[in-house]
Amino acid sequence: MNSPPLVLHVDDDPNILALVSRKLETHGVKVVSITDPTKAIRRLLETGARVVLLDIDMPKKDGLTLLREIKKLDAGIQVIMCTGMVSINTVLCATALGAETCIFKPIVNLNEITDAVDRAFEKIDRWWIALKDWIERKKAAGDAQDAAQIESQLLSNVQTVFGCCEFDSSNDKISTTPAVRSEC
């Protein structure tokens, strides 16, 4: 049985966290919510989340700084910015740093969030399918050793970041859930 998709949500407003969490959980997405952005990287590593919802204007550490740190850790993590700081500068900066999209507060339509999260997970799935297809083409072309080395190196890199992982070729998804990690 596949576990539900997991999102890490970082926002200093507990009301926003609760509202978004309820909406995403009814949409079939598990949410880990935290109010302290200084703990976000640790929680990201603990949970293995591949999608992050991130507020920009927070005390202790702003969301753009955290976005830089997340992308430095793993550029493949999909980050969706949520902000009340509506300015073209903010949006351009967030996109230049690698954010998938920006959702503006106040959030009038929560479907914006579910749609953005769905698109982020679809993008991750497309990358894994493309990678698997590329490896299969390398094998078919007689480069099986090269393909096996690349596949092994890729999984090793993911294991280094998350502690353990498992690639399920039946659905072309990688699992980095704590349950999988505890079995290693």
- As for how many domains the chain has, the answer is 2
Residue 79, in any domain of the structure? yes
CB 52 within 8 A of CB 78: yes
pLDDT < 50: residue spans in the chain? 1, 159-165, 167, 169, 171-174, 176-184
Give the pLDDT of residue 161. 42
- Domain shared by 14 and 103, yes or no: yes
Taking alpha carbons only, the member of 36, 44, 42 closest to residue 13 is 36
Whether this prediction's pTM lies above 0.95 is answered by: no
Neighbours of 96 (CB within 10 A): 9
Residue 88, in any domain of the structure? yes
Give the pLDDT of residue 149. 73
- Domain shared by 22 and 75, yes or no: yes
CA distance 60 to 38: 7
Where in the sequence is the domain holding 82, given as residue range(s)?
A: 6-122
Residue 59, in any domain of the structure? yes
- Domain shared by 127 and 165, yes or no: yes
Give the pLDDT of residue 154. 65
CA distance 85 to 17: 17
Give the pLDDT of residue 4. 86
Residue 58, in any domain of the structure? yes
- Domain shared by 65 and 106, yes or no: yes
Give the pLDDT of residue 176. 45
Give the pLDDT of residue 9. 98
Give the pLDDT of residue 26. 96
- Domain shared by 162 and 175, yes or no: yes
